[in-house]
Each structure stands twice: as C-alpha cells, then as structure tokens.
Amino acid sequence: MSSLPSPCSCSSNGEEERPRFFDSKAKSKCWASAETVPGRHPERWHKDAADNIVCKCFCNCQGCICFE
C-alpha cells in the first residue's frame, strides 16, 4: 500500500521539491521553448511536456477548457 505524500515542501530524500506556481517570466520561457503544433497558429498553439496540445488563451483557467 502506498503512503500519502507529506505536506512538507521537501521530498523524502531531503531535496526541495520543484515549485508548483511560476512567475510570468518562467511561463514565457516555457512557452517559447515548447514545440508548436503543425497546421495551427504558432503563437497560440503549442505542445506540453506530455505532448498534449495547449492553447495559450486557456492558461490560468479552472477545469477542462475553462468551464468551471
């Protein structure tokens, strides 16, 4: 049975975890380095690390396609 993650900000091996929230500079750098989607507007559509297609106008939304 797996244990639940601890609420502290460090991992079990003593290293600090990666941040979950990012400033606009970090977001811009990530967006600029992401792969564009062929056949779609290159400034709006990119792929994330898991190869999912992401639209820039839907960032900071809650829920699937900002419905919540």
Confidence of residue 4 (pLDDT cuts 50, 70, 90): very low
pTM: 0.56
Per domain, the residue ranges of the chain are: 24-66
How high is the pLDDT of residue 57?
Answer: 81
Q: Which of 38, 64, 68 is nearest to 51 (CA)?
A: 38
State the CB neighbour count (10 A cutoff) for residue 44: 13
pLDDT tens-place string over residues 21-68: 788 898 889 889 999 999 999 999 999 889 988 888 877 777 666 665
Q: What are the DSSP calls for the chain, one per residue? A: -PPPPPSSSB-TTSPBPPPSS--HHHHHHHHHHSPBPTTS-TTTEEE-TTS-EEEGGGTT--SGGG--
How high is the pLDDT of residue 17?
Answer: 79
How high is the pLDDT of residue 34?
Answer: 93
- 19 φ/ψ angles, rounded to the nearest 5 degrees: -65, 150
